[in-house]
């Protein structure tokens, strides 16, 4: 008969009929299991008590579906900045010693069903064997690198000894997670089975290896040195170092530290390798980059908990169960694919039957995209096809509880379509518009129930861009906002609630950056130099490259909206319409500011040709100082000033929303912590000093009252 459970605060200990001990973790007061101090203490108590009557084997599992362990408690990570290097190394040693106790005790198996990240994976690695499940939510990985850190409880020691230094390096330095099947192929787990078979599979592994020497052999493998052949060591160091530098540009210290720690640790025994790991962790924890990345993670967690209505308002709003999308263009197709990937059955409506038919294969391919193989899975596409419904009449949305309109970006067309949706859809459905420029108030003019109407601005490409601006119009109800926010989260997106205004948040902050770049081009600064300075700051591409990527015609129309609203500081540039008139629309036409091979599908072929130079010369401006620092200031200080105006006007509720938005939508470098965090690294007084020589450029470089107040009071932008 199984023994009765021993209940601790975070885990229950039982013994089955064969005497195997089963430790089931449920960490209270958290959405996922996390390694709190209490969880670690309870594990130590359980190991002590089991030692009184040693079991033949032990199984560690989660009692919470979909979550083995999501990593360390965020509060513990936030305290790192206040600790000395010695104190941090002691913390690493304490956690590692507990896991070492586990790895030296009775034969053990971790049952990994659901999230298994960071310290959770280190806990699983401390067990002799691991069983993963086929649950799509089962993901294993080391995301510490995204916090500017490395695994600190033995991850860089055990992982390379188990799967080899090359695969271990890729997993730890990239920070991406893998599913159970990939973990089995890698050798990270010993079995991958359906969730309902996982516990039985763990018992079978314990029974199989009870006396065959496997456990002792694996423990030696994870304890002894695993030195690389000198040539292999040199090759891995050179190739991986080059890949890491290509990914990070040398701005993130964690990936090269992971490479160095894994290579050095492989040459010594596990105890010595662990000390190297702790020292490296402590060094990284002291860096400004880690502090910034932890802040970005923290505000992301805040966003995941936010109902969209305020920090203290809890909402019971749920994601839609019967969504529909109207408009089968690029954005509509991307939104539909995002729904399919998230598990929805979705209806797509477009009056053009041919456009619908042509678009379905691309939607299914996008929805079936496999990140691991970097290609679409034909089998997955076939499965998803059954969840995509298409129609050419609006009657098809009659049963929908959320309809997202995504037709052409013209207010008159959108108003007609939205009115037709309202006539067709049920009374309690939310109606949303995917718009980047059209005021929600104007689009709501023809609606009978504007309270259930809001904006949901997705960004292109939808699969890769996680930000969604949920735009509250003057009449939008709280319940509508909460439902839109909940639905965006169900899609795996990061929703930020924005008050209706021209440009909303992202485009309003982006436009000064783009506008200033063109002004510098008109002053004679080469576009390549402007882009190079921007990339050197950490942006994924420069503003001139971004113009060509967006499409100069699209940028032109967006610029008209913003210029009409903020013309005193964002005056429409004559260069953009002149390039559009000349047929240079950017990549999609094969040429914009730059030329491109293969009609824009291939790489850039060089600087602007004579026709572009002639257009720019036609609208030339007097030259200004143009050293790299000045170029960077002219690009990013106007963005900061506009962000401060956004906050002053209450367009968003919190500065953290600004930082999250510019990172997720514009690629603002995370290692700088966001636009406001970057400003804090300068200080308000320094920002004012840098603006002084730019004052002659006009209103767009004038400090706001809030900036002057910050400088006067010595306060932080992020406070």
Q: β-pairing, 494-499 with 467-472?
A: parallel
Judged on CB neighbours under 10 Å (0-12, 13-18, 19+), 360 is middle
User: Is the distance from CB of 128 to CB of 190 less than 8 angstroms?
Assistant: no
* Residue 705 token pair: 């009252």
Q: E strands along 147-254, which residues?
A: 191-193
* Residue 663 token pair: 């990172």
Q: How far apart are CA 431 and CA 82, in angstroms?
A: 47
The interaxial angle of helices 155-163 and 270-285, nearest 10 deg, is 130
Helix (H, G, I), strand (E, B) or coil at 409: coil
* DSSP-assigned letters across all residues of 224-276: S--PPPHHHHHHHHHHHHHHHHHHHTT--SHHHHHHHHHHHHHTS-HHHHHHH
**Measured over all CA atoms, what is the biggest interatomic distance in the chain, rounded to whole angstroms?**
90
Among 403, 476, 477, CA closest to 441: 476
Q: How far apart are CA 586 and CA 552, in angstroms?
A: 6
Q: How far apart are CA 120 and CA 117, in angstroms?
A: 5
As annotated, the active-site residues are 457
Q: How far apart are CA 684 and CA 178, in angstroms?
A: 43
Among 430, 431, 437, 392, CA closest to 410: 437
Q: Any idea which residue has 């993130």 for tokens?
A: 252
Among 141, 250, 293, 249, CA closest to 663: 293
User: Is the distance from CB of 131 to CB of 189 less than 8 angstroms?
Assistant: yes
Q: Which residues pair with 369 in a beta bridge?
A: 376
Which sign, positive or negative, has the C-alpha torsion 370, 375, 380, 385?
A: positive
């Amino acid at each position: 008969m199984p023994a009765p459970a021993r209940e601790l605060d975070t885990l229950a200990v039982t013994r089955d009929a064969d005497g195997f001990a089963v430790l089931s973790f449920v960490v209270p007061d958290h959405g996922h299991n996390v390694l709190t101090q209490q969880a670690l203490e309870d594990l130590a108590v359980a190991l002590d008590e089991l030692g009184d009557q040693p079991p033949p084997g032990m199984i560690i599992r989660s009692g919470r579906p979909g979550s083995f362990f999501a990593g360390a408690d965020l509060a513990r990570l936030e305290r790192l900045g206040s600790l000395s290097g010695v104190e941090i190394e002691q913390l690493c040693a304490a956690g590692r010693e507990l896991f070492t106790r586990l790895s030296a005790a009775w034969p053990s198996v971790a049952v990994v069903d659901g999230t298994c990240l960071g310290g959770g994976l280190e806990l699983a690695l401390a067990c002799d064997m691991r069983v993963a499940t086929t649950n799509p939510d089962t993901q294993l990985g080391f995301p510490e690198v995204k916090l500017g850190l490395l695994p600190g409880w033995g991850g860089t020691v055990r992982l390379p000894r188990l799967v080899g230094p090359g695969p271990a390096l890729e997993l730890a330095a990239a920070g991406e997670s893998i599913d159970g099947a990939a973990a089995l192929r890698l050798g990270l787990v010993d079995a991958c089975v359906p969730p309902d078979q996982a516990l039985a599979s763990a018992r079978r592994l314990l029974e199989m290896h009870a006396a065959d020497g496997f456990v002792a052999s694996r423990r030696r493998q994870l304890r002894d040195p695993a030195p690389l052949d000198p040539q292999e060591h040199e090759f891995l160091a050179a190739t991986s170092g080059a890949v890491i530098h290509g990914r990070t540009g040398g701005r993130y210290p964690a990936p090269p530290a992971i490479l160095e720690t894994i290579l050095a640790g492989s040459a010594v025994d596990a105890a010595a390798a662990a000390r190297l790991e702790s020292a490296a962790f402590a060094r990284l924890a002291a860096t400004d980059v880690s502090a910034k990345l932890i802040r970005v993670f923290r505000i992301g967690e805040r966003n995941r908990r936010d109902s969209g209505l305020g920090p203290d308002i809890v909402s019971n709003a749920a994601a839609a169960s019967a969504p529909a999308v109207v408009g089968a263009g690029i954005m509509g197709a991307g939104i539909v694919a995002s729904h399919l990937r998230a598990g929805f059955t979705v209806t797509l409506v477009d009056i053009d039957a041919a456009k619908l038919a042509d678009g379905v294969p691309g939607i299914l391919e996008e929805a079936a995209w496999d990140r691991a193989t970097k290609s679409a899975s034909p089998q997955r596409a076939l499965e998803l096809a059954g969840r995509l419904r298409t129609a050419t009449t609006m009657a098809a949305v009659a049963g929908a509880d959320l309809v997202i309109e995504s037709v052409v970006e013209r207010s008159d067309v959108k108003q007609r379509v939205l009115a037709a949706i309202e006539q067709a859809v049920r009374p309690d459905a939310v109606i949303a518009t995917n718009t980047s420029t059209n005021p929600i108030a104007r689009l709501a003019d023809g609606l009978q129930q504007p309270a259930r109407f809001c904006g949901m601005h997705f960004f292109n490409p939808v699969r890769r861009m996680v930000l969604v601006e949920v735009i509250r119009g003057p009449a939008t109800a709280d319940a509508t906002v909460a439902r839109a926010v909940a639905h965006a989260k169900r899609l795996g997106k990061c929703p930020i609630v924005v008050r209706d205004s021209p440009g909303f948040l992202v485009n309003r902050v982006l436009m000064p950056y783009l506008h200033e770049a063109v002004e510098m081009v008109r002053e004679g600064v080469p576009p390549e130099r402007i882009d190079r300075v921007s990339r050197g700051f950490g942006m994924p591409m420069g503003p001139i490259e971004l113009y060509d990527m967006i499409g100069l015609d699209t940028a032109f129309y967006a610029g008209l909206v913003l210029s009409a609203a903020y013309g005193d500081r964002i005056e429409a540039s004559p260069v953009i319409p002149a390039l559009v008139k000349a047929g240079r629309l950017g990549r999609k036409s094969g040429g914009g500011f730059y030329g491109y091979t293969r009609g824009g599908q291939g790489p850039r072929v060089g600087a602007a040709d004579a026709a572009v130079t002639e257009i720019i010369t036609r609208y030339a401006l007097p030259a200004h100082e143009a050293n790299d620092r000045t170029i960077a200031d002219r690009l990013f200080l106007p963005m900061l000033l506009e962000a401060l105006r956004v906050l002053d006007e209450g367009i968003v509720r919190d500065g953290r929303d600004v930082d999250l938005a510019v990172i997720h939508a514009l690629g603002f470098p995370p290692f700088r912590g966001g636009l406001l965090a970057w400003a804090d690294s300068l200080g308000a007084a320094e920002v004012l000093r840098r603006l002084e020589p730019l004052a002659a450029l006009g209103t767009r470089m004038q400090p706001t009252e809030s900036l002057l107040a910050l400088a006067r009071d010595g306060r932080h932008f992020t406070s």
